[in-house]
Amino acid sequence: MSEKVVMKQITKSFSVNGEKLEVLQAIDLEIKSGEFIVIVGHSGCGKSTLLKIIAGLETQDSGSCEMDGKAITKPGFDRGMIFQEHRLLPWLSIEKNVALSLEAYDKAERAIQVEKYLDLVKLSDFKQAYPAQLSGGMSQRAAIARAMAPNPDILLLDEPFGALDAMTKIELQDEVKALHQKEKSTMIMVTHDIEEAVYLADRIVVMAANPGRIRDIVTINLGKERDRGSIDFTIYRKKIYDYFFESKVKEPEYVI
């Protein structure tokens, strides 16, 4: 696997009420092509800002962010982004919403891609429906189809399942995992859900706050098929949990 994204010494500040707020400090991160990276950290530590820099929606103050060896300067269809809320346009049908990301395709190719991705996210029967007629999980599926339809090299997912119920969330985690394995795209996801992180990630980037920085990067050596109830899974979950919360349970030493 070659490097897809290389971030070197990224810093970012915002001005809030006339005061400088340092949001990201000295971010060094290399992401390989096809990797599934999950970023976890407290609210406000700069996770969304980091994703937006990769998406080209924000610019770093210093340092560099490159994709395939070229500086990222603006958004592009080579990077798809999915947000916590689906951001579908309410006045367009689901198929037209998905087609929005396919401007660069001719009409026939566009129809093929829309069909393919609505099928992959199990929404073929709802292509004529409008966003208001879909459940939260279905809307998020449509957003995934829209982001993936132009075959982006990188999919950026900012708490995509944060607003969903636990059952739907688990279903969608499996769907995203299957899409990742099938499409071989690089995925970078932000979540607050530690179990979700351990279930999906090749590597988990643990961030610290004020200013946002990388505290550790944990490689999850659990193979592709993961059992949420297995001992190894539980050990990883506790390892990540322990970065954020003091453990109240005294346990035997464990080593991963």
Ligand X SMILES: Nc1ncnc2c1ncn2[C@@H]1O[C@H](COP(=O)(O)OP(=O)(O)OP(=O)(O)O)[C@@H](O)[C@H]1O
Q: Which residues bind Mg ion (CB under 5 A)?
A: 48
CA dist 123 and 145 (Å) reads 9
What is the x/- site pattern for ligand X, positions 40-69, by CB under 6 A?
-x-xxxxxxx--------------------
Task: Please state the closest distance from residue 135 (CB atom) to ligand X, in A.
Answer: 23
Task: Please state the closest distance from residue 234 (CB atom) to ligand X, in A.
Answer: 25
Residue number, 45 or 204, with CB nearest to ligand X: 45
Kindly state the tokens that stand for 133: 């007629």
DSSP-derived pairing of the beta strands 154-158 and 186-190: parallel
CB 131 within 8 A of CB 86: yes
The site that binds ligand X (CB under 6 A) totals a number of residues, namely 12
Residue 46 touches which of Mg ion, ligand X, none (Cβ within 5-8 Å per kind): ligand X
Task: Please state the closest distance from residue 78 (CB atom) to Mg ion, in A.
Answer: 22
Query: 21: closest CA among 30, 31, 11?
Result: 11
Give the number of residues written for the chain.
256
Task: Please state the closest distance from residue 18 (CB atom) to ligand X, in A.
Answer: 12
Query: 198: closest CA among 167, 177, 168, 171?
Result: 177
Query: 36: closest CA among 227, 241, 222, 244?
Result: 222
What is the x/- site pattern for ligand X, positions 13-32, by CB under 6 A?
-x-x----x-x---------
- Residues lying near ligand X in the complex (CB under 6 A) are found at 14, 16, 21, 23, 41, 43-49
